[in-house]
């Protein structure tokens, strides 16, 4: 099945710890995105990558880091500098058709212990 796989589904972070969220796609899409979703705030863009080995900050990049070493993979690290990491994190990739539709994974829910 083609799609976007996010893991783990649930993740807990201890104080001062860095955690990494995985996002893998087998859709052969070039562009990938990370969003954070909080209740009542919709989706906010953290980072995006248009191509391998290149990425740009979104609207709320502070306290996060990413890498894009392979086309299929776009992991997100939530660092200890992110003081309020509890949220639902969504990964998306951009289709190549004329409509440029974003397709989403099932999300990772991160909580602080």
Partner 1 sequence: QKEVEQDPGPLSVPEGAIVSLNCTYSNSAFQYFMWYRQYSRKGPELLMYTYSSGNKEDGRFTAQVDKSSKYISLFIRDSQPSDSATYLCAMKGGTSYGKLTFGQGTILTVHP
60-79 footprint of partner 1 as x/- string (CB under 8 A): --------------------
Residue 28: other Cβ atoms inside 10 A: 10
- C-alpha 91/C-alpha 46 separation (Å) is 10
- C-alpha 24/C-alpha 11 separation (Å) is 17
Task: Pick one of 27, 67, 103, 112: the residue that binds partner 1 (CB under 8 A).
Answer: 103
CB of 78 to partner 1, least distance (A): 18
Task: Pick one of 15, 16, 84, 99: the residue that binds partner 1 (CB under 8 A).
Answer: 99
Q: Which residues lie near partner 1 (CB under 8 A)?
A: 4, 6, 31, 33, 40-45, 48, 50, 58, 88, 90, 92, 94, 99-107, 109
């Amino acid at each position: 099945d083609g799609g976007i796989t996010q893991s783990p589904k649930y993740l807990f972070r201890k104080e001062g710890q860095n955690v990494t969220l995985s996002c893998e796609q087998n859709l052969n899409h070039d562009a990938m995105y990370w969003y954070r979703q909080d209740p009542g705030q919709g989706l906010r863009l953290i980072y995006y990558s248009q191509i391998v080995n290149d990425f740009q900050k979104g609207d709320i990049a502070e306290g996060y880091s990413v890498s894009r070493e392979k086309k299929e993979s776009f992991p997100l690290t939530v660092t200890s500098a992110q003081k309020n990491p509890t949220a639902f994190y969504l990964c998306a990739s951009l289709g190549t058709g004329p409509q440029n539709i974003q397709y989403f994974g099932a999300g990772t829910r991160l909580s602080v212990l």
